A = this chain, B = another copy of it.
């Protein structure tokens, strides 16, 4: 998906919501466990109930890998289902936090972007920056594909290293300013945790035009209003993720309806924000 197509999707759906598919056998409604592929059934119903409200879905690979081959099967079916049933209507994010030396990252890129080998054809993959340029570059050789680099994460452990930079600067600022030269706003985004909303001004000074993927609203405590206040740019420039608050809105047979209600509430808030955006012109 191109940068312009993504912007069009946001305009059309009046939403910049990403739904995180952190689908866990221990948390999905128990009546699904009798299905042949409970996780896929769960994902399919969530997607069908919310596809017009969300612009993106983000399967979190850990939740699939913990079920081994079966989990991998559910993951592949999910991405194939989205691409077949909602082509060009959904931006798909492989939330895998990959990154390794060049020849290995090349294999991870094949896994995420080459369906002939892996069966998976995501639009984007989250990557970890610690190993530097050659660990990230192989993902950038795919036309129309994106990497989403971890910059400032939403968890407590973000404090451990992401604020430790040279000369009083923050490491996440170094990550932004160096890595944004490896690609451009047409193929790179950044993960910035919603719990660090006030830091978004600093982020926007370095990458004013890039899209930011913002996890951490809802269960992790971040606020959509705060994120919009500091993070919006002229093209929206935000993809805000919610996982648990939506997909586990109900543990009963009505889980898909309740997920829709939870997603609709966020979408309506986003529609308001997009209608009268307050763009922080300081950056």
Residues of A within 8 A of B (CB): 22, 24, 60, 62-63, 65-69, 71-73, 76, 97-108, 110-111, 114, 117-120, 128-136, 150, 153-162, 164-166, 168, 171, 174-175, 178, 215, 220
Q: A150-B131, A161-B132, A164-B171 are in contact. Are A101 and B155 (CB under 8 A)?
A: yes
A-B contacts, 29 listed (Cβ < 8 Å): A62-B98, A62-B107, A66-B110, A66-B111, A66-B117, A66-B118, A69-B72, A69-B119, A97-B98, A99-B128, A101-B154, A101-B155, A101-B157, A102-B157, A128-B130, A128-B131, A129-B130, A130-B130, A130-B162, A131-B150, A132-B156, A132-B159, A133-B157, A133-B160, A160-B178, A161-B171, A161-B178, A164-B174, A171-B171
Distance to closest chain B CB from A182 (angstroms): 9
B residues less than 8 Å from A119 (CB atoms): 68-69
Kindly report which residue of chain B lies nearest to residue A219, judged by CB atoms.
Answer: B103
Q: A62-B100, A66-B114, A118-B65 are in contact. Are A157 and B135 (CB under 8 A)?
A: yes
Number of copies: 2
Distance to closest chain B CB from A107 (angstroms): 4
Separation of A32 and B86 alpha carbons in the complex (Å): 39
B residues less than 8 Å from A162 (CB atoms): 130, 132
Kindly report which residue of chain B lies nearest to residue A119, judged by CB atoms.
Answer: B68
Given contacts A69-B69, A69-B72, A161-B175, list 16 more A-B pairs with CB under 8 A. Answer: A62-B107, A66-B108, A66-B110, A67-B117, A68-B76, A69-B76, A97-B99, A101-B155, A102-B157, A128-B130, A129-B130, A131-B150, A132-B162, A134-B155, A134-B156, A165-B166
- Residue in contact with A68 in the complex, picked from B108, B117, B165, CB distance below 8 Å: B117
Separation of A188 and B97 alpha carbons in the complex (Å): 21
- Residue in contact with A65 in the complex, picked from B107, B132, B136, B159, CB distance below 8 Å: B107
Q: A69-B119, A104-B22, A104-B62 are in contact. Are A155 and B132 (CB under 8 A)?
A: yes
Is the beta-carbon distance between B69 and A111 smaller than 8 angstroms?
A: no
B residues less than 8 Å from A131 (CB atoms): 128, 150, 153, 155, 157-158
Distance to closest chain B CB from A242 (angstroms): 14
Distance to closest chain B CB from A177 (angstroms): 11
Distance to closest chain B CB from A108 (angstroms): 5
Closest 9 CB pairs of A and B: A132-B157, A132-B160, A62-B107, A68-B118, A65-B111, A66-B110, A134-B157, A68-B119, A101-B155
Kindly report which residue of chain B lies nearest to residue A112, judged by CB atoms.
Answer: B65
Is the beta-carbon distance between B97 and A128 smaller than 8 angstroms?
A: yes
